[in-house]
A and B are shown apart, each in its own frame.
Chain A
């Protein structure tokens, strides 16, 4: 079956069963590898993407349910040469160790800042609490989101 949806601003059409997961389609059909497999059970958050701006677990989301919707992945934010302010803030804070959890966390942070440009520390904790980080970079990650919020709301680079 074919599905049409928008990924990172580009119209895409993929041939896949409607029960295929969004994670599978992003990685194996579209080559977008920044959305990661961690558990397949909506328990860790490494696969988090945005569907119409809302955080969604790609590991269980059936691709049929995103037809005609807008999906944003980490690749839709920025590149090493031209990072998004959130990505820049994570680099500035060196917020991460192994980095496996980061792309999902950045996507949840993006959704948070889009709806709440000046979140408190507890707003950020609440938005990220469904994400696991095994290396223990949590405090750096919280600081990075605060830093990005400041940079984005002041219009300056992070």
Chain B
């Protein structure tokens, strides 16, 4: 039998028992290496398993992010979980179902074709047999490798997949303890850190007595241990408030040598231009020798953006009898285990890493770093559980941030005002410094006595969707396209993956330019788009979202009210999304309403996926209107919610989202598909409202006033 191509996760973890286990309580444990971050992935993967096994959904238990019993699926990123992990679970369950029916057929002395599975019961020509998965489970060899060859159910017969299922993790989160932050093992010690201000800074002196006095001021009887290992410092106490008070008091009592100084100008995207960079040319190089006839250029930017998770990072660690156990809300437990082993000099087998929930992170935040912090303390105090909690100012100040980007488009037009030759020039620091990826380290490793060598940054390659170049290639009918990517080598702050990577600035640039090009030839932006968009799935969305938003009755430009449209397919290979934003612009921009139509192929959990579209829209509104990481001489200065404001209840638009019917098409990841189109739709709506375009995000009051002065 010819096997179909297997998802990467199944190729990497072929043994069936890495994925599935029949438990004595008549549940099935499905293991995934992807982790829940509020995106609903464990529910969706449970649905896929229930579907292929023909079991009721409540018989499925999902184990997520466990280095002992689960598969290694690297990090939970790039809107790939349902496609890759879900795809693997689908094949595994189909194969196990086939094996179980073969064993039952032998027992019943009947043909395999006479058997069906209904609600987990095996029926012979429709009649009960007394056989089910559990009666034959001991006869199925789950140590075998998956072949990927068992037939999967046709989508037309689905009764769990494609139907909305309530998230299985939500009840706990609405009633009490639910997060790694909420676990207090017996005799736990609480820990906080004093952070090395930057790589290379060394701790010249630490006035421990002053810190102890400050901590004692809060809790006279709380014992305090101060752990120092080179430039890593932790405050440890059985009383959480003591550790907290010590850490809060510590910074003025620490003197650092080699602390770097930053300039305020470095916080702006404009600073990136002219910095040393690693330049790559992608696409139709070299440029044509004939001079451009109708060259149009546009530059847009966005600043550094914080993940700004609601929960400062936290981890638990215990080092007992030579074995380290870590509980973390990071995005990948197998990579975390490997990275900890490398820093701590432990064999990988001496470490167990288990995922517990944290707040949404939307990319690479401080979660993994907190796990190393906790492990470093645990190694110094064996036999005790350590709970290490980052403080709010630490999360804002030391998590990696989403890179600032500057994008310039150089587009030569044909005689009909359509793009004929298109060059995208991008300046950006790297979008991935995940530990273990070859481009980044766990933060505290740089504070230890043998810090890892500094490495030249690099970006995800094009075949993985790129980083700064993500969504730089327009989906429109452009005869020639090329990219010049300046990977800026020494940004002022640590940068790494933030939801969408470069998609947001790149889509903002493309869709802003397309609106300007339509205006240039006096055409409606929707009609202009459709004239250069032949992809049928894309056309359908643009037409539908325009209809939903009442585009035909869009008013004139310059009234203070605007309607803007934008479209993209995430990574040019995941879900498609078309967005219309309605705005009111006075001194500031208010996004009143957003319509979104998406095509994600087969949607496993429609309500869960809608929730992802809505959340991406709100987050993109917040980024586009309000957010910028601020720097001062010492580093990140925006360390609380007043200096880093995000969108509030009173500012959130009405949102209407829908999926077009995608049954028959493979599932496409939805988590990041709305961010680029939302930002660009707002930009176009503001342009419509004001009659003037603002090219730099965030679209603040100052930028609006400056733009209005120009009109």
- Residue numbers of A with Cβ under 8 A of B are 17, 19-21, 24, 27-28, 31-34, 36-41, 43-44, 46, 74-75, 77-80, 83, 87, 90-91, 94, 96-103, 106, 125-126, 128-129, 131-142
Residues of A within 8 A of B172 (CB): 80
Contact among B170, B312, B607, B655 for A99, CB-based, below 8 A = B170
Which of B152-160, B455-463, B615-623 lies on the face that meets chain A? B615-623
- A138 CA to B654 CA in the complex, in Å? 10
B392 contacts A125, C-beta separation under 8 Å: no
Which of B92-100, B438-446, B639-647 lies on the face that meets chain A? B639-647
A33 contacts B182, C-beta separation under 8 Å: yes
Interface membership of chain B positions 343-381, coded 1 if the CB is closer than 8 angstroms to chain A and 0 otherwise: 000000000000001111010000000000000000000
Residues of B within 8 A of A87 (CB): 171, 174-175
B654 contacts A103, C-beta separation under 8 Å: no
B392 contacts A134, C-beta separation under 8 Å: no
Contact among A94, A98, A140 for B166, CB-based, below 8 A = A94
Contact among A27, A83, A101 for B310, CB-based, below 8 A = A101
A75 contacts B176, C-beta separation under 8 Å: yes
Contact among B177, B219, B619, B652 for A34, CB-based, below 8 A = B177
Q: Tell me what chain B mostly uses at the interface: helix, strand, loop, or mixed.
A: loop
* Closest chain B residue to A122, Cβ basis: B650
Query: Interface size of B by Cβ–Cβ distance < 8 Å?
Result: 61
B650 contacts A129, C-beta separation under 8 Å: yes
A96 contacts B619, C-beta separation under 8 Å: no
A129 contacts B39, C-beta separation under 8 Å: no
- A106 CA to B170 CA in the complex, in Å? 13
Contact among A19, A98, A106 for B38, CB-based, below 8 A = A98
A28 contacts B184, C-beta separation under 8 Å: yes
Is B178 engaged at the interface, CB distance under 8 Å to the other chain?
yes
B648 contacts A98, C-beta separation under 8 Å: no
- A103 CA to B311 CA in the complex, in Å? 13
Contact among A39, A75, A96, A100 for B392, CB-based, below 8 A = A39
* Closest chain A residue to B309, Cβ basis: A134
Residue from B169, B173, B358, B391 whose CB has the most chain A CB atoms within 10 Å: B173
The 7 closest A-B pairs by CB, nearest first: A136-B618, A98-B38, A99-B173, A100-B359, A136-B615, A97-B38, A33-B182
- A31 CA to B188 CA in the complex, in Å? 13
B640 contacts A41, C-beta separation under 8 Å: yes
Is B599 engaged at the interface, CB distance under 8 Å to the other chain?
no
Is B340 engaged at the interface, CB distance under 8 Å to the other chain?
no
A24 contacts B240, C-beta separation under 8 Å: yes
22 pairs, A vs B, C-beta closer than 8 Å: A27-B182, A33-B184, A43-B641, A79-B176, A80-B172, A80-B175, A83-B171, A94-B170, A97-B40, A98-B359, A98-B360, A99-B357, A101-B359, A103-B173, A131-B649, A134-B646, A135-B38, A136-B616, A136-B619, A137-B615, A139-B655, A141-B649
Is B181 engaged at the interface, CB distance under 8 Å to the other chain?
yes
In the assembled complex, the CB of A22 is this many whole angstroms from the nearest CB of chain B, namely 12
A99 contacts B392, C-beta separation under 8 Å: no
Q: A31-B184, A44-B641, A134-B309 are in contact. Are A75 and B175 (CB under 8 A)?
A: yes
Residues B187-205 near A (CB distance < 8 A): none
Residues of A within 8 A of B116 (CB): none
Residues of A within 8 A of B184 (CB): 27-28, 31, 33
Is B614 engaged at the interface, CB distance under 8 Å to the other chain?
yes
Interface membership of chain B positions 218-247, coded 1 if the CB is closer than 8 angstroms to chain A and 0 otherwise: 111000000000000000000111000000
Residues of B within 8 A of A133 (CB): 310, 649
Residues of B within 8 A of A41 (CB): 392, 640-641
A91 contacts B170, C-beta separation under 8 Å: yes
B175 contacts A39, C-beta separation under 8 Å: no
